[in-house]
Amino acid sequence: MSLSRREFIGIGGGAIAGITLAPGLRLVELARARSPEEAATQMQRWGLLIDIGRCQDCDVCVTACRTENGWYGHNRPATDPQWIRKVTLKDNQTGYVESLPVLCQHCEEPPCVDVCPTGASFKRADGIVLVDKHICIGCRYCMMACPYKARSFVHEDTINQKSYAPRGKGTVESCTLCVHRVDAGKIPACVEACTKDGNQAMVFGDLKDPNSGINKHLAAGPSTPLRPDLNLNTGVRYRGV
């Protein structure tokens, strides 16, 4: 079989195009499970659904978070940090009582990021709200601005720090949505603990993936953010509040 010059260019060109484009097309498909070395992208938005009906009178989520991230205090409740806490709410009209965990709500429009003078308080492309400990000057304006009281100021020297969750005296900190675990393809420590405990009150996932578990749960029933009046489009939503 002999190829004319024209046929050779045609087939050759097609082959080169295939070799060049195929990995690109493949990459689009792989982007949802990126490696830790790659930057976070807007293709994901990480979120959490907390079902109050399933939330028991326990604090495994709090304990798991503290152990995972090492925010140990000094037995001084007013100044010790709390990245996640259990809160009991009572309906003013009906007296109905319910218990729920409160943590950084990872707002789409975070007031803490708006007010931060240096940009230390920032939102990652995938929606996780974090504090850059290197440029936080400790002004605490973000703590004034956060409607959820989600942030703590490190009032004294830290002990037993984790390498993946750095803390610093004189800077502000809060829930990172276990960004070090999420980047490694795992779920946050609180969610894992709640699931292991059998409560299954927390569902974590990608709010931008129509097929994710969290989106199926959100589509199947009602849910609401805390302080819906502020219209912050939080990444954390609650069912049954």
Contact between 103 and 84 under an 8 Å Cβ cutoff? The reply is yes
Least Å distance between CB 232 and other proteins? 9
70: Cα separation from own chain's centroid: 17
- Under DSSP, the state recorded for 43 is T
User: Contact letters (x/-) for other proteins, 176-215, by CB under 8 A?
Assistant: ----------------------------------------
Least Å distance between CB 172 and other proteins? 7
- What are the structure tokens assigned to 173, written together? 């900190």
User: Contact letters (x/-) for other proteins, 141-160, by CB under 8 A?
Assistant: x-xxxxxxx-xxxxxxx---
Q: How many residues does the chain have?
A: 241
Contact between 105 and 111 under an 8 Å Cβ cutoff? The reply is no
* Cα Rg, the chain, nearest whole Å: 22
Nearer to other proteins, 25 or 97 (CB): 97
**Interface with other proteins (CB under 8 A), residue from 58, 67, 139, 199:** 139
Least Å distance between CB 107 and other proteins? 11
Least Å distance between CB 214 and other proteins? 21
- What are the structure tokens assigned to 40, written together? 């976070």
Question: Is residue 123 at the binding interface for other proteins, with CB under 8 A as the rule?
Answer: no
Q: Are strands 152-153 and 129-131 parallel, antiparallel or unpaired?
A: unpaired
The dihedrals phi and psi of 112, each to the nearest 5 degrees, come to: -65, -35
Could you tell me which stretch among 18-26, 32-40, 93-101, 196-204 binds other proteins (CB under 8 A)? 93-101
Least Å distance between CB 29 and other proteins? 36
Contact between 107 and 233 under an 8 Å Cβ cutoff? The reply is yes
- What are the structure tokens assigned to 237, written together? 């939503």
Give the binding site for other proteins (CB under 8 A).
74, 76-82, 85-93, 97, 99, 102, 111, 113-120, 135-141, 143-149, 151-157, 168-172, 226-230, 241
